[in-house]
Structure 1
């Protein structure tokens, strides 16, 4: 999971040159060799999606860079990511300026902003990208600035990916569990003071939690009753059906609470084999169901692209550091997409 979203501003000429220099050939990395041009999806967010598309997202910058040198076929394929809404992972430090920038864009477009809060102390069990707030009080200050940045704008917040799953898999030290649940509960309350903010507590996925009912008590302690629901498959590769079944098991034990599913990279499901290796830049994956709140499912509020497709999971399989844009991997995801 990325620790923070990179800047989404449109590149300068120098920025374009840098992107061109860094972009690998189509046949390098996980992405396949160039094929025939793909049909372009509609510009902007899909009609069924109420969410904001940041015009300066990394995929859009890549499209501009490739078009500038005549890589039009690849640019057309990359629009499958560039023209669809992905979540903004708020930066550490002061998240306010970046969130306010995004709020301005979303309001101008009449869309809902997708955000991820990922800054708890001791997050990610010390694995890359690790980091987070140095202590509980620093986190309270950070989540307050996060919420203030949203204000009255329409927003959906995915709260702390991995945080609760790590309390049931033995990864989080016992002395940190109660603090984590308390901080999550406080964060739900702070965010819900914003009248137009929806909050979904992260609840892992079938690859990270063997028995989803183990999360029922932690979710309750983290404030699920006051949130809008929970999120599953964030940064994961589980197909829609598996993620839905996993979420339904939690839902039936929590008063039929609704949930959202991250479908950004689950179009071909997980890579067969070692589950640990299958989670880090697995080759041959594809984009999943495009973001929408029209799911046709009474329990599933939305399919969302929470982990931005094309951002690396880490340095495994030749990838850049976690959270870094990886053009060849993104191109592979987009080229194999069915939508």
Structure 2
């Protein structure tokens, strides 16, 4: 295709995608989603909500006006795919209105929104994404207003990323000496599950961390304590880069461990800590932890964990296993594995370079326990001003420049994630706009 023709096509596509209301128009071409089943499981043909004013959509306009049509098309491709909407602060009245606005937009598209509730007290152990409600009581009022705003419509709620994999007791040796803060955290999640699951079309997923973090038994027990069996399930890999197949396998183990410790044989009930972890091998007991000098997460040893579950858990009834969803927003190239001594603290979870967007959002995953692959982390938003344990303030991975604050839009990162997508990023448009037309 000649350059002039390509430029005209770029302008046509970006203009069509980003014209006022156009994304809503494209999405509404789909048939309305089926009614919510009693167990809140997402139908395989679920269509997720695409926000017409996303960061990527606005960046496409900026790039187009700035004379960068190729970048504009890339951002328009990204903007055509559904991403989660994060609700992170505000009063109960404010979050109620924010959720209602999203629900109105989703209704116009005949689509299901993915909402992230992210306002838990003592959020992120006071690190890059610190904040949250001022107290447990304030949070419970906030989440009740959140739930009420959803009403009878369909919605997916990703409930408080990092809230369970990173409990107050995990923040440091003296972070929760009496256990009161952790007890408050669990109570907050209990209250949230009760309020949200009371809505007939809401599918609630609790924090399950990721496959490179808490051991299988630890995560299963925390989820049990937090009432996961009263929710639709748990979520994995939010804002992380663990490969999808590894997340699927880890999540299956956690699900089986939840069954083992609650509905399994009598000798197993109450003993989630007996489950083999992803760090298990004949040479290392199942209490290995990430970063341990001897035991590291190594998928090549996972057959030992599979063997333990085959021998001790077998094949539980499918209807009794807990489902989960996986964030694939930036795991297209898998984990970033720098040399162990590259920096004092590699912070592999923080703005990992060259990762790429992963599998497209869908509720038709082909994996029995995986309800959906979703773009939960907003693609192109920073994790924080990472320093990799250096004196800073710059990030040595990015040439010593200072990364944007957590949650800030980072156009260069968004473009890299889109360019490195695996599979390659395409438009999510019915009828197909292609360069050959």
Scaled by the length of structure 1, the TM-score of the pair is 0.84
Q: Residue 168 of structure 1 contacts residue 215 of structure 1 at CA under 8 Å; is this kept in 2?
A: no
1:198 maps to 2:203: yes
Q: Residue 49 of structure 1 contacts residue 291 of structure 1 at CA under 8 Å; is this kept in 2?
A: no
Aligned length: 300
1:269 maps to 2:273: no
Counterpart in the other structure of 1:326: 410
1:95 shift after superposition:
1.0
Instruction: Provide Cα deviations, 1:79-114, integer angstroms capped at 9, x if missing partner.
Output: 232111111111311311211111110001100011
Distance 1:168 1:132 in 2: 13
- Superposed structure 1 runs of 4+ greater than 4 Å apart: 40-49
Distance 2:120 2:191 in 1: 12
Counterpart in the other structure of 2:351: 281
Distance 2:130 2:212 in 1: 20
Given the superposition, is the C-alpha separation of residues 78 and 169 from structure 1 closer, same or farther in structure 2, using an over 3 Å criterion? farther
Counterpart in the other structure of 1:62: 59
Q: Residue 205 of structure 1 contacts residue 236 of structure 1 at CA under 8 Å; is this kept in 2?
A: yes
1:131 shift after superposition:
0.5
Distance 1:124 1:208 in 2: 15
Distance 1:49 1:290 in 2: 13
Instruction: Provide Cα deviations, 1:277-313, integer angstroms capped at 9, x if missing partner.
Output: 1111111110000100010110100000111110100
1:166 maps to 2:166: yes
- Cα RMSD after superposing both structures: 2.1
How do 1:173-188 residues align onto structure 2 when only pairs under 5 Å count?
Answer: 173=176, 174-188=179-193
Distance 1:49 1:66 in 2: 32
Counterpart in the other structure of 1:226: 230
Q: Residue 169 of structure 2 contacts residue 182 of structure 2 at CA under 8 Å; is this kept in 1?
A: no
1:88 maps to 2:85: yes
Counterpart in the other structure of 1:105: 105
Instruction: Provide Cα deviations, 1:230-259, integer angstroms capped at 9, x if missing partner.
Output: 001011100101111111110111232110
Q: Which has the higher contact order (CA 8 A, sep 6+)?
A: 1
- Among 368, 387, 396, the alignment partner of 1:298 is 368
Please state whether the residue corresponding to 2:221 is helix, strand or coil: helix
Q: Which is worse superposed, 169-178 or 283-292?
A: 169-178
Q: Residue 88 of structure 2 contacts residue 132 of structure 2 at CA under 8 Å; is this kept in 1?
A: no
Q: Residue 168 of structure 1 contacts residue 214 of structure 1 at CA under 8 Å; is this kept in 2?
A: no
Counterpart in the other structure of 2:270: none
Counterpart in the other structure of 1:145: 145
Instruction: Provide Cα deviations, 1:131-173, integer angstroms capped at 9, x if missing partner.
Output: 1011110001110111122112210001111011113982262
Scaled by the length of structure 2, the TM-score of the pair is 0.65
Please state whether the residue corresponding to 1:53 is helix, strand or coil: coil
1:308 maps to 2:313: no
Counterpart in the other structure of 1:79: 76
Q: Residue 182 of structure 1 contacts residue 221 of structure 1 at CA under 8 Å; is this kept in 2?
A: no
- Among 325, 328, 344, the alignment partner of 1:260 is 325
Q: Which is worse superposed, 74-83 or 238-247?
A: 74-83
Given the superposition, is the C-alpha separation of residues 49 and 81 from structure 1 closer, same or farther in structure 2, using an over 3 Å criterion? farther
Counterpart in the other structure of 2:114: 114
Counterpart in the other structure of 2:155: 155
The structure with more radius of gyration: 2
